[in-house]
Amino acid sequence: MVSAVFHSPLDTSLPVPRAGESRAQAAPHPGLLPATEKQEKEQGQRTPIDLRAFWMRVLPPLAGFGLLLLIWEVVAMKSTTGFPTPMATWQQAVTVFSDPFYSKGPNDQGVGWNVLSSLQRVALGFGLAALVGIPAGFAIGRFEFLSRMFNPLISLLRPVSPLAWLPIGLLVFKGANPAAIWTIFICSIWPMIINTAVGVQRVPTDYMNVAKVLNLSEWKILTKILFPAVLPYTLTGVRLAVGTAWLVIVAAEMLTGGVGIGFWVWDEWNNLNVANIIIAIFVIGIVGLVLEFALIKLATAFTFEEVKH
């Protein structure tokens, strides 16, 4: 005699118990969990928003800019020389940036061309400094004779103001543009030499002892031991150098003329256009901030340590 067993539709959704296990002991189906358990699961998966941390990141910068605008407005109100207000400067900035790449001759070009010209000089001078300074730093840090030979010269020349080298560049290169690039080169090279040399000297002695035991060549020591260990120091020197280079190019262009953000500041001063000078100050700061941010990202990508401002 064959007997048929009929199950309700509800039973089909329940898990089949294992051998020796009753249906009540089997794990419940997710769809049949009590409502309270579902809510607890959903709440556990949601990440709460930390509003206090958000406002602590947003409010202090806004308060700082607000204080700057307030002081600026008070100075403009008290000034008797026509110092522009923040609103007047903003209106002038809209006009300036509406056509930043116009060109009406060598001495009348938009702010975009001036910034690009300055960045080009910085790139050339900074690039030459990196090509010379980083290998020189490795050599000075690696060999004691070179360290004793060049340390007095570096200590003597490093404190010299970068602009003091500008007349030498004008005398040697007979041109304003090469002289400005020379000034960038000479002021950018010292941070890269010093930081790279210090990084090489701080490589653990155990690493070098292992290299001697393995009888590694100088090239292997450089590429496999020194370069990875010294890279954070070198990138720090690069960050310091590019910041100094951007500061110096503005002053150098004010003295040499031509096209550049420094020359634009000086030309606007001769025209008594203070609003454009303030705009140039903000442009210089923003470009410097972008360069710093880019180098921080580069340093973070190639080092294991967190790079801080």
For the segment 75-100, what is each residue's pLDDT rounded down to a tens digit? Answer: 888 887 778 888 989 999 999 899 88
Q: What is the DSSP letter of 308?
A: -
Cα–Cα distances (Å) from 192 to 48, 120, 142, 204, 227, in that order, read 45, 20, 15, 21, 14
Which of 32-36, 124-128, 231-235, 297-301 reaches the highest mean pLDDT? 124-128
Residue 103 pairs with which residues in a beta bridge?
A: 109
* Greatest C-alpha distance within the chain: 118
Could you tell me if residue 260 is left (phi over 0), alpha (psi between -120 and 50 degrees) or otherwise beta?
left
| List of residues 6+ apart from 121 with CB closer than 8 A | 177, 180, 181, 184, 249, 253, 260
Q: Given this model, what pLDDT does residue 10 score? A: 46
Angle between helix 227-256 and 274-302 (nearest 10): 170
Which residues, at least 6 apart from 199, have a Cβ–Cβ distance to it below 8 Å?
Answer: 137, 141, 229, 230, 231, 232, 233, 234
**Predicted confidence (pLDDT) at residue 258 exceeds the cutoff of 80:** no
Tens of pLDDT, residues 189-227:
999 999 999 999 888 888 888 888 888 888 888 888 888
Burial class (CB in 10 A: 0-12, 13-18, 19+), 100: middle
For residues 249-271, average pLDDT: 85
- 35 has pLDDT over 60: no
The lowest-confidence range among 25-29, 80-84, 119-123, 288-292 is 25-29
| Candidate from 32-46, 145-159, 269-283, 289-303 with smallest mean pLDDT | 32-46
pLDDT (0 to 100) of residue 148: 92
User: What residues contact residue 110 under an 8 Å CB cut-off, 6+ apart?
Assistant: 96, 99, 100, 101, 102, 103
Instruction: Name all contacts of 76-82 with Cβ < 8 Å and 24+ positions apart.
Output: 82/274
**Which range is most confident: 51-60, 127-136, 167-176?**
127-136
Q: What's the mean pLDDT in 274-299? A: 88
Confidence of residue 45 (pLDDT cuts 50, 70, 90): low
User: In whole angstroms, how large is the CA radius of gyration of the chain?
Assistant: 32
Helices (H), the chain: 9-12, 35-45, 51-78, 86-98, 111-142, 144-157, 166-173, 176-201, 205-213, 218-220, 227-256, 261-270, 274-302
Band of the pLDDT at 2, cuts 50, 70, 90? very low
Q: Could you tell me which residue, 79 or 164, shows the higher pLDDT?
A: 164
* 29/90 Cα distance (integer angstroms): 64
Averaged pLDDT score across all residues of the chain:
81
Q: What is the pLDDT of residue 8?
A: 47
Query: What percent of the chain has a predicted confidence (pLDDT) above 90?
Result: 25
At residue 221, the pLDDT reads 82
pLDDT of residue 100: 87
Residue type, 176: A
Percent pLDDT > 70 in the chain is 82
Distance CA 124, CA 181 (A): 7
d(CA 124, CA 112): 19
| Average confidence (pLDDT) over 105-116 | 84
Contact between residue 245 and residue 287 where contact means Cβ atoms under 8 Å apart: no
Query: Rounded CA gap, 60 and 55, in Å?
Result: 8
Q: pLDDT band at 185, cuts 50/70/90? A: very high
| CA separation for the pair 308, 296 (Å, rounded) | 8
d(CA 58, CA 209): 51
Which residue type, as a one-letter code, is found at position 250? Answer: V
Retrieve residue 71's tokens. 């002081």
pTM score, whole prediction: 0.73
